[in-house]
Structure formats: C-alpha cells, structure tokens
Amino acid sequence: MISCRRAAAWTSRELDAALNPAARSLLGFHRLVCGNCRRYGRQLAEVDAAVGGFLADGLPESARLPDAARERITQALRDASGG
Amino acid sequence: MSHTPQLPEHLRGAPLDPHGWVERHGDYLYRFALGKVGRGEAAEDLVQEALLAAWRGRARYGGRATERSWLTAILKRKVIDWLRAAVRNRGRVEPGDDGWVDKQFRGGKWRTGPDEWEADTPGAGVERREFWEVVSGCTGKLPPRLRDVFVLWHLDERPTDEVCQAAKVTPTNLWVMLHRARLRMWRCLTRNWYGVDPDDREGRAEP
C-alpha cells in the first residue's frame, strides 16, 4: 500500500486531473483504509476551491495604494496623456 | 468624455479621461494585484503598467464592460506575466528538498493527521471578508516560489503544458510545487479558520 505521504502528494495531483488510472486506484484503495487521507482529500479540495475563490473575487480589504505610488502613477498617466 | 449608455450612471467611467483612474480605482486595483503577487512594490508597479497600457489601448475599450472591469482585465494579464517571469527566474525545485513537508510525516504516515473541521467556508457577507483576510494571510506565508506557482496555476487558464512552457518548469516540478503549496495552505487554513492546529492534538491515534 502507498504511504500517507505519497497519498498526500497524489491528492494534490488528483485536484488537477493529473493522476494516471493506476495511481488513482492505489489512492482510492489507500483511502478505504485510511481515515486521515480520506479527510485530507475532502479538506484539500475545499482549501483549493477557497483559494480559487479568493483569487477570483477576494481582496485584502485593508490595503490602500500608498500615497507616493498614487502620486507617481497619476503623474505617469498625466505625462502619457499629455495632460 | 465618453460614457457607456447601457450602464447605470454610477458604474459609468471616463475611459478617455485617465486622470481620475487612480482616484476611482487605485485602491481596488492595488488590492487586486497585492492579493496575487504579495509584494507591495510589485503591486504598485503593476497598477502603473496596467493603467498606462489601458491608456495606450483606449481605442479598444468598447463600453461593454465597466471601466473598472476593463482595467482589471488588463491588470490581470500583467499579473500573470509577472508571475510567469517570477517563476522562471527562480528556477526549479528539487523534488526531495523540503524540510517542512518532511516534518508533517513520520515513517510515511501523518505525524498528526487531519481532524474533522469545526467551521465551514463562509458564503457571503462580513464573515466572507474575514475569511479572505485569513486566506490572504496564508498565501502570504508561503515561500515566495511556491506562492507564485500556486497563484499562477489558479489564475492562468491555459493548458498545463503551456503554463509550464511559459514559466519554464517541467510538469513534474509543477506538481511537486503545487503539492507543497497546498499542504501548507491546508495546514494554515485549518489552524486559522476551519479547525485547530494538528500540533495541539498531540497523542491522537494515527491511521
């Protein structure tokens, strides 16, 4: 049987549909007898979806464009637009 | 000044007048970039590059999207290019070289394995925003190379071989880095949102 360490690595590849059929079978068999890796499989899928959601819609709300950058970018736009 | 007639007044922009872009969208675009590249100075530079590119390409703005969506789409392409270059310039990862991952296992088994979580992924509202802050904090704690690969993989919608080619990594290298990044994200989010730190459960039975 594969180790939990290998199962964890394959769980990640499974999320990317990058696991060959033989490895999928071995991972499935491992999960039949390993509650930790069953939970890890479920939880990692949720973590990956959450990160995907954050990268699509989430923003670090407390961050603000620093004043110096604001002035620099405004000036660059003014120069570029001839204004 | 050119308005987009199909949009409500409060969403209309001034795509031919860039002087208000920083005021109207600067903070939003900066947060967008910062959430993906994780470095303030790089995020500032990307916002500037995106706005200058938008100005140069203003003739292509058709008014079908809001001004902010249009600028964000340009910024997203800049962010993806930046991440590809960052991954390329940092080189490859050796498959056996990660002490942090080594410490999660003992004799091939979980040292302290996953427990059932005590919280869910929030759907919306204030809790969702708090969750984003936690996710942002966890991505910020990833080693820079893993962070860049992980974010790039989520943002870049091209097939694996094209992502690998653009970032100059092999598929095997990509899978190794994604696994290492995800394991860290799982651990960090379990500790800070979903459950408790597995290290606080010393003595629990292993599989």
How many helices and strands (H and E) does chain B possess?
A: 8, 2
- Span B156-168, average pLDDT: 88
Angle (CA) B133-B136-B139 rounded to 5° is 155
pLDDT in tens, B124-155: 788 888 898 899 899 999 999 899 999 999 99
The pair phi, psi for residue B113, each rounded to 5°, is: -80, 175
Q: Which of A50, A53, A55 sits opposite B36 (nearest CB)?
A: A55
Residue A35 has pLDDT above 80, yes or no: yes
Chain B residue with CA closest to A73: the answer is: B48
Q: In the numeric block, which tokens belong to residue B180?
A: 């290492």
- Span B161-165, average pLDDT: 90
* All structural domains of chain B: 9-89 (1.10.1740.10), 92-201 (1.10.10.10)
Q: In the numeric block, which tokens belong to residue A75?
A: 């000036």
Task: Give the A window 15-54 contacts with B, CB below 8 Å.
Answer: 15-16, 18, 33-37, 39-40, 43-44, 46-54
Pick the range with the lowest mean pLDDT from A42-46, A72-76, B156-160, B182-186: B156-160
Residue B92's pLDDT is what? Answer: 64
| HSE-up (13 A, CA, CB side) for residue A60 | 22
Residue B1 has pLDDT above 50, yes or no: no
Evaluate the CA torsion angle B60, B65, B66, B72 in order and state its sign. Answer: negative
Chain B residue with CA closest to A5: the answer is: B108
Q: How far is B127 from chain A (nearest CA, A)?
A: 12
| Contact assignment for A76 to B52 by CB distance below 8 Å | yes
The pTM for the full model equals 0.84
Cβ–Cβ < 8 Å for A52, B154: yes
| Contact assignment for B35 to A73 by CB distance below 8 Å | no
Given the structure tokens 């990044």, which residue do they identify? B181
Cβ–Cβ < 8 Å for B49, B78: yes
Chain A residue with CA closest to B103: the answer is: A5
Chain A residue with CA closest to B34: the answer is: A60
Helix, strand, coil shares of chain B, percent, nearest 5, are: 65, 0, 30
Cβ–Cβ < 8 Å for B106, A35: no
Bridge-partner residues for B53, per DSSP?
none
| Contact assignment for A16 to B189 by CB distance below 8 Å | no
